[in-house]
Amino acid sequence: MEFDKQKVDKLEQEIEVEFQNEELLKRAITHKSYSNENRERSLKNNERLEFLGDAILDLVISEYIFAEYPDHPEGELAKIRSVVVSAPVLAEKSKEINLGNYLLLGKGEEITGGRKRNSILADAFEALVGSIYLDQGLEVVREFILELLTADIMTVEAGEHIQDYKTLLQELIQQSSNSRPDYLVVKEEGPDHNKEFTVQVVFEDEVLGTGIGSSKKEAQQQAAKNAIKKIQ
């Protein structure tokens, strides 16, 4: 997939930002797999923009929740921010603006579904934030971020956001492996109307975490949450 003027215009319409330097936008959607396969073109990938965008997201979200929730202690503010800028949430924002449709990916990533992979989508969203900041400045990128994430902030603050720990754990594991963890029910207790399940999440013969819940799904999420704590 090449990135021509028509695609530039369409992406700008999706995100409602008109770039002065369209090379920044092109770099934001260039995955390293694409630049590696096209070394002769000396393309820059989006990793540096991702680094910048990550910091800008932290700043904008921190500033917003600091002002909006003056009675919340530091720990609660940190928890809200950590969920709002997590990979699953940012990947969802990428899907809302159809960012995956515009990514420049290498053949391997294309074949294995990289356009829909949360880690790639989240990284691309951060890179897009970085590119908007460099091209348009802080006020424009703040407006872009809050337009997409204010509803999520409110949901998280109200305690109504359900973090998908299984997806987050998978994203962490995929940083170093293509394998997936297994979730094993090791105990099932209680009558049918009041079951309690114990689940272990296992990766490469190692138990990463154990969770207990009233359903297998709830126990799996708890196991994944505990595994993430262990890994991090």
Give the active site residue among 50, 109, 126, 171.
Answer: 126
- Give the integer Cα–Cα distance in Å for 150 and 154: 6
Give the active site residue among 54, 109, 152, 164.
Answer: 54
- Give the integer Cα–Cα distance in Å for 225 and 219: 10
Tell me, what DSSP letter sits at residue 220? H
Strands (E), 24-156: none
Tell me whether residue 188 is one of the annotated catalytic residues. Answer: no
Place of tokens 């126990």: 219
- Give the integer Cα–Cα distance in Å for 142 and 64: 10
Tell me whether residue 54 is one of the annotated catalytic residues. Answer: yes
Chain mean position to CA 63: 20
Just list the catalytic residues: 54, 126
